[in-house]
Amino acid sequence: MEYNQIGYSNIRLPSDRNSSLYQYSSYNTFPQEVLLHEFLHTLERNEQENGNDIAELHDYRLYGYEEQRTNGLENWYRAYMQNNIQNAPGKGLTDFAYSSKPIHESNFEYAISLDYLDEPENILEEVSSIISRVFELFN
């Protein structure tokens, strides 16, 4: 997505671990696909800003790929990431996508650290995290 000429990806995940987002089902066969998809948009944008002519992530049908019932667009993402798109050599991600550094919070004028996404660093933080999640269930 783009806002005021700044590219960003926004992924919101429910904190309820029982959410259907985390469940495999007939309508949600590849739930982790959204994370991969948004990450690939970031790499796609970096490639384009570097002047590399690559395929648009949403143009999978133009290159002969279809969404599969149980694997979603896994075949397309594999080909895209390995720069091995059928009938379109060189249109996938290049080495640049994997060798350039990700942006840092110092690149943003109004960067905010999101503490709630931090992983526990020791057993006390882990236990505290579990207890707080249990209390959230009852509130």
67-88 tens-digit pLDDT: 887 778 889 999 999 999 998 9
Q: What is d(CA 35, CA 37) in angstroms, rounded to the nearest whole number?
A: 5
Cα dihedral: 87, 89, 92, 93 (round 10): 170
Higher pLDDT, 52 or 134: 52
Alpha-carbon gap, residue 92 to 126, rounded angstroms: 40
Task: Specify the pTM.
Answer: 0.59
Q: Find the helix packing angle between 33-49 and 74-81, rounded to 10°.
A: 30
pLDDT for 93: 95
Whether the predicted pLDDT of 63 surpasses 60: yes
Give the model confidence (pLDDT) of 35-62 as tens digits. 788 889 888 988 988 899 999 999 999 9
Angstrom distance (rounded) from CA 31 to CA 14: 13
pLDDT of 123 strictly over 70 = yes
**pLDDT tens digits, residue range 82-112?**
999 998 989 999 999 888 766 666 666 665 5
